[in-house]
């Protein structure tokens, strides 16, 4: 039985020092930064003394996510890259994500390989994406929320490197805004349930889609984030999140709130 | 150096093991990150990327498979983080991102991993020094072909042709069935 081996991975198994070049790089600073980052914060140490409450909270969170996922799955349709966080996704997250020998070839890029699921094909201007070669919109899905009193709340979902998740209202609608209207987008990264998460948060991008054209608003790795957006003109607006990190990211407590004038 | 021992100690929250891993691989990972993406990445970017790679190793220490290589894991994480960093620069670095992503080269072999590594080492040892150096620069140190061509003082096209021939010979060697 044959197996594919990526040559760079195979070469990594040997040792050679002839071409090492660390000029200008402070190795001690790297090591100090690592040791500093892996120290658990004070609050974490306190929590470790109370495991029962933590496990109880985790169970409640898991149950809520499952119920929300089941409810919204029917509305969202078959998602590939962007998907609601369910038990199978949680289980998959526990699997080690590296294999040194078996090469995991990245998908080839090409216009015919763009994957627009859910309502995203109606939301995005595909011609614009193709003409401008926006590589970050190759794998797009929609996450639908439930709206009440001007606030749309979204179920917990997971997406991977390069995936785009467009937030929509229950039937795939965006937000009708007049010039000067203000809308607030909030979300958190669930790093507790994600073994692949960086302690300080994974890198994300938040953007807005107007008339099918996406535009970045913010990039960062904040684990909890709020963005206030003021409509530059009247129109239908959608907001999206992109996973710019190399790992899957779980988004929780996402909400879009239309501020009352 | 004992990777299995390090993996086992990491799972026991032994920070001394992490320090030993850092002592062993920091210079290599910095070299790779720099070779892949200079001059787009600064020395500070490289430091941040490599420190993140070690933090992730620590974060995932309980799910590490001791049968797999820590070095390979760290290398892959470092490369992914470098690509992420370049992508975050958006258009300015996209050609470089494409070059890195496209730079994957697989062989199909029936060999066990350890045997493949041993056969690779034998193959390298049997090559003339400059050919061995060229393969190491490209596959081990992740130097870009334009940089290798400059170092050798030859045309980029000539370098790529030579690399292509060496790669073909290496693939043939790795795909060769053992005779009883």
Domain holding A20: CATH number? 2.60.120.680
Tokens at B24, concatenated: 């062993």
Q: Which helix (H) or strand (E) holds B154?
A: none
Q: Predicted confidence band at B12 (pLDDT cuts at 50, 70, 90)?
A: confident
For residue B180, pLDDT over 50 is answered with no
Interface test with A, best of B31, B65, B72 (most A CBs within 10 A): B72
Q: Phi and psi (nearest 5°) for A219?
A: -135, 140
| Tally of structural domains, chain A | 1
Determine, for residues A4 and B108 on separate chains, whether the beta-carbon distance falls below 8 Å: yes
Report percent pLDDT > 70 for chain B.
86
Q: What is the pLDDT of residue A77?
A: 39
Which pLDDT score is estimated for A195?
85
Taking Cα atoms as reference points, which of B156, B165, B114, B108 lies closest to residue B135? B165
Tokens of B123: 């193959």
Q: What is the pLDDT of residue A59?
A: 60
Look at residue A76 and tell me whether its pLDDT is greater than 80: no
What's the CA gap between B84 and B28, in Å, rounded? 19
Cross-chain CB nearest to A25 (options B47, B81, B116) = B47
Kind and range of the H or E run holding B30: helix B15-37
Beta-carbon separation of A31 and B22 below 8 A = yes
Mean pLDDT of A150-173: 89
Percent of chain A that is helix, strand, coil (3-state, to 5): 30, 30, 40
Contact list, A95 vs chain B (CB under 8 Å): 63
Give yes or no for residue A53 having a pLDDT over 50: no
pLDDT at A102: 29
Model pLDDT, residue B87: 80
Q: Which residue range(s) make up the domain with A251?
A: 1-261
Q: What structural domains and CATH numbers belong to chain B? A: 1-92 (1.10.1740.10), 94-180 (1.10.10.10)
Contact A197 B59 (CB under 8 A): yes
**List of chain B residues whose C-beta atoms are within 8 Å of the C-beta of residue A103:** 104, 106
Name the residue with higher pLDDT: B173 or A94.
Answer: B173
pTM: 0.51
Q: Would you call B10 helix, strand, or coil by DSSP?
A: helix
Question: In B60-103, which ranges are continuous DSSP H helix?
Answer: 70-88, 94-102
| Interchain CB distance below 8 Å, B136 and A25 | no
More confident residue, B91 or A45: B91
Least-confidence region, from A21-25, A253-257, B94-98, B124-128: B94-98
Q: How far apart are CA B120 and CA A10, in angstroms?
A: 8
For residue A49 the two structure tokens come to: 């003394």
Chain B, window 102-161: residues with a beta carbon less than 8 angstroms from a chain A beta carbon: 103-110, 113, 116-117, 120-121, 124, 133, 135-137, 139-143
Average pLDDT estimate for B53-64: 88
Parallel/antiparallel/unpaired status of strands A151-153 and A249-258:
antiparallel
Integer Cα distance of A83 and A79 in angstroms: 5
Asked if the bond preceding B39 is cis, omega within 30° of 0, the reply is yes
> pLDDT band at A40, cuts 50/70/90?
low
Longest distance between any two alpha carbons in chain B, whole Å: 54
Task: Please check whether residue A159 is in contact with residue A250, taking contact to mean a CB–CB distance below 8 angstroms.
Answer: no
Closest CA to A210 of A233, A191, A188, A228: A233
Chain A within 8 Å of B172 (Cβ-Cβ)? no
User: Residue A104: in which H helix or E strand, if any?
Assistant: none
Q: What is the pLDDT of residue A5?
A: 79
Alpha carbon distance B134, A19 (integer Å): 11
- What is the chain A residue with the closest CA to B44? A25
Percent of chain A with pLDDT over 70: 74
Tell me if chain B has a CB within 8 Å of the CB of A3.
yes
pLDDT at B27: 95
Task: Spell out which residues of chain B touch residue A94, defining contact as CB-CB under 8 Å.
Answer: 63
The rounded distance, in Å, linking the Cα atoms of B100 and A106 is 11
Residue of B67, B79, B90, B69 whose CA lies nearest to B35: B79
Return the residue in B16, B52, B86, B144 with the most chain A beta carbons within 10 A, the one to mutate for interface testing.
B52
Strands A139-144 and A115-116: parallel
Tokens for A252?
A: 């929780």
Say if residue A6's pLDDT is above 90. no
Q: Which of A127-131, A154-158, B81-85 has the highest mean pLDDT?
A: A154-158
């Amino acid at each position: 039985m044959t197996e594919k081996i990526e040559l760079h991975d195979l070469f990594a198994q040997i040792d050679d020092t002839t071409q090492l070049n660390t000029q200008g790089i402070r190795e001690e600073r790297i090591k100090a930064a690592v040791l500093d980052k892996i120290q658990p914060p004070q609050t974490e140490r306190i929590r470790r003394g109370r495991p029962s409450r933590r496990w109880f909270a985790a169970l409640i969170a898991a149950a809520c996510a499952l119920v929300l996922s089941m409810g919204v799955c029917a509305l969202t349709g078959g998602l590939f890259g962007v998907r609601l966080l369910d038990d199978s996704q949680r289980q998959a997250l526990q699997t080690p994500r590296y294999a040194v020998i078996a090469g995991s070839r990245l998908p080839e890029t090409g216009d015919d390989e763009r994957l627009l699921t859910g309502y995203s094909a109606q939301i995005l201007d595909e011609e614009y994406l193709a003409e401008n070669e926006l590589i970050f919109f190759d794998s797009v899905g929609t996450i639908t929320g439930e709206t009440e009193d001007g606030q749309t709340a979204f179920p917990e979902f997971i997406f991977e490197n390069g995936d785009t998740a467009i937030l929509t209202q229950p039937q795939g609608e965006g937000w009708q805004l007049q010039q000067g209207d203000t809308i607030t987008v909030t979300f958190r990264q669930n790093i507790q349930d994600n073994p692949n998460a960086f302690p300080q948060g994974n890198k994300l991008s938040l953007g807005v889609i107007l008339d099918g054209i996406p535009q970045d608003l913010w990039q960062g790795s904040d684990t909890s984030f709020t963005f206030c957006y003021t409509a530059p003109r009247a129109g239908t607006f959608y907001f999206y999140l992109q996973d710019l990190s190399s790992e899957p990211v779980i988004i929780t407590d996402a909400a879009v709130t239309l501020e009352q004038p | 150096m004992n990777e299995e021992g390090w993996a086992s100690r990491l799972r026991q929250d032994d920070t001394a093991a992490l320090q030993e891993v850092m002592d062993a691989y920091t210079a290599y990972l910095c070299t790779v990150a720099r070779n892949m993406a200079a001059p787009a990445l600064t020395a500070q970017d490289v430091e941040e990327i490599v420190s993140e790679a070690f933090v992730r190793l620590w974060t995932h220490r309980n799910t590490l498979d001791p049968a797999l290589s820590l070095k390979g894991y760290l290398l892959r994480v470092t490369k992914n983080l470098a690509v992420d960093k370049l992508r975050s620069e958006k258009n300015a670095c996209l050609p470089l991102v494409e070059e890195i992503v496209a730079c994957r080269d697989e062989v199909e072999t029936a060999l066990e991993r350890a045997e493949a590594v041993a056969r690779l080492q034998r193959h390298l040892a049997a090559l003339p020094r400059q050919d061995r150096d060229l393969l190491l620069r490209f596959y081990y140190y992740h130097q870009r072909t334009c940089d290798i061509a400059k170092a050798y003082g030859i045309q980029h096209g000539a370098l790529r042709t030579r690399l292509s021939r060496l790669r073909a010979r290496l693939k043939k060697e790795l795909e060769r069935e053992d005779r009883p």
